[in-house]
């Protein structure tokens, strides 16, 4: 069955199917039925939602990208703590060995392929990464792992394969093939990248500074320089930075020797936004007795 699922993904018209889903999800037609079926199918828990009434949302997308209660996701505030950007499960995490990122057992891809910028990729060679998979039932807003200033974004066109575990295990270079948005930040720990990866029937990727960016032009790579934006776009740790309209994946990259990943986390570990993902090495060195 899994082989058939993968085979069909190579044949399906990814973008047409996803855009059609997007129009349906934005409309009010059958929104009550769609929301009801989705909650039942994926056992969605609305107890953390700012609005717990499924009938109060104006569209399926409004329901899917719902806000949470202010106290629903405490942000780890220990000195130097870097937090998980999203609810979901760790797909993989660890060291970027030379320039390669682990996708799944037996599969990896290069930082350059993911970022679509070889010069930027050099900054992360030998660094650290964490990949978080957001399932359909999860909260779908993405938040800042650490406070940062936005330097630039790169929209990278691509396919829209599913990003679930079955597909990650089977499709080579999955995250470097799919449509995605690369967001580069300057932080107290050095450069940090957040990559928002599109997926099958994901009808859009939004940021808090530009609104909806994906879907973008199907063939055009677009780089936007925010380094001299006035006023600067600066986001606090735990602040919302973007959201997915339907489930997908967020990948965070750190420069070498800047963070130590939480050793309690491994592939398939469930995570929530705001939980401890890594520790700043700079802060750890300051805390050591002289």
Q: Is the pLDDT of residue 7 over 80?
A: no
> Annotated catalytic sites, by residue?
87, 143, 248
pLDDT, tens digit (0-9, with 9 covering 90-100), for 95-118: 999 899 999 878 999 999 999 999
The predicted pLDDT at position 94 comes to: 97
pTM value?
0.90
State how far the Cα of 214 lies from the Cα of 46, in Å rounded to an integer: 27
The number of CA neighbours under 13 Å toward the Cβ of 77 is 4
The predicted pLDDT at position 282 comes to: 84
Q: Region of 6 please: left (phi>0), alpha (psi -120 to 50) or beta.
A: alpha
Neighbouring C-beta atoms of residue 115, cutoff 10 Å: 24
pLDDT, tens digit (0-9, with 9 covering 90-100), for 116-161: 999 999 999 999 999 999 998 999 999 999 999 999 999 999 887 7
pLDDT, tens digit (0-9, with 9 covering 90-100), for 11-49: 555 555 656 565 665 666 678 888 999 899 999 999 999
Contact in structure between 196 and 250 (CB atoms under 8 Å): yes
């Amino acid at each position: 069955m899994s082989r058939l699922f993968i085979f069909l993904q190579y044949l399906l018209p990814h973008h047409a199917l996803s855009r059609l889903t997007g129009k349906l999800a934005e409309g009010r037609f059958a929104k009550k039925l769609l929301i009801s079926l989705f909650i039942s199918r994926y056992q969605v828990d609305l107890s953390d939602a700012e609005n717990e009434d499924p009938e109060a949302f104006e569209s399926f997308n409004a329901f899917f990208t719902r806000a949470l209660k202010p106290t629903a996701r405490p942000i780890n505030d220990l000195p130097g703590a870097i937090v998980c950007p999203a609810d979901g499960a760790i797909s993989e995490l660890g060291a970027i060995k030379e320039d390669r990122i682990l996708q799944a057992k037996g599969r990896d891809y290069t930082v350059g392929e993911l970022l679509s910028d070889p010069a930027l990729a050099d900054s992360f060679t030998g660094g650290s990464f964490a990949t978080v998979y957001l399932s359909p039932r999860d909260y779908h807003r993405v938040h800042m792992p650490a406070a940062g200033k936005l330097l630039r974004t790169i929209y990278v066109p691509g396919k829209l394969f599913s990003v679930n575990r079955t597909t990650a295990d089977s499709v080579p270079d999955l995250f470097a093939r799919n449509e995605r948005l690369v967001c580069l930040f300057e932080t107290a720990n050095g450069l940090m990248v957040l990559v928002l990866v599109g997926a099958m029937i994901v009808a859009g990727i939004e940021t808090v500074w530009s609104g909806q960016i994906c879907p973008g032009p199907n063939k055009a790579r677009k780089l936007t320089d925010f380094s001299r934006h006035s006023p600067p776009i600066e986001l606090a740790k735990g602040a919302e930075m973007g959201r997915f309209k339907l489930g997908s994946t967020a990948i965070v990259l750190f420069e070498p020797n800047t963070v130590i990943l939480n050793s309690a986390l491994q592939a398939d570990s469930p995570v929530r936004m705001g939980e401890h993902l890594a520790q700043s090495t700079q802060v750890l060195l300051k805390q050591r007795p002289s």
